[in-house]
Amino acid sequence: MATLREAFAEKNSVSMMRIHSLEFQFRMALLEPDINESNLAQQRSQINKLKEEIDAAVNENLIAVAKVLTPEQRAKMRMALMRLELDPAGF
């Protein structure tokens, strides 16, 4: 699983940094004396596209992790998730 985590981070770190950079630029553009709505829309479009790509990569990684786990480990994870759904404190 560590290998999967490292591969995911290596593959997606540049996109994640790009998202943070674009979001910062977007917020800075909102503080300009003249707001360029066309530029803001283009930035939002780029951000949304990158977020969709990251979301797809996260889902692929979750599937890969699930394939590595044994049925017993998946059952333990299921129980842990059910506890969290019942009470965020896990009690």
pLDDT in tens, 2-33: 898 899 999 999 999 999 999 999 999 999 99
Query: Residue 31 carries which DSSP code?
Result: T
Give the number of other Cβ atoms within 10 Å of residue 22's Cβ.
Answer: 19
Say if CB 4 and CB 68 are below 8 A apart. yes
Among residues 60, 49, 42, the alpha carbon closest in space to that of 19 is found at 49
Average pLDDT for the chain: 91
Q: Walk me through the domains of the chain, giving residue ranges and CATH numbers.
A: 2-86 (1.20.120)
Q: How confident is the model at residue 88 (pLDDT cuts 50, 70, 90)?
A: low
Say if CB 22 and CB 47 are below 8 A apart. yes
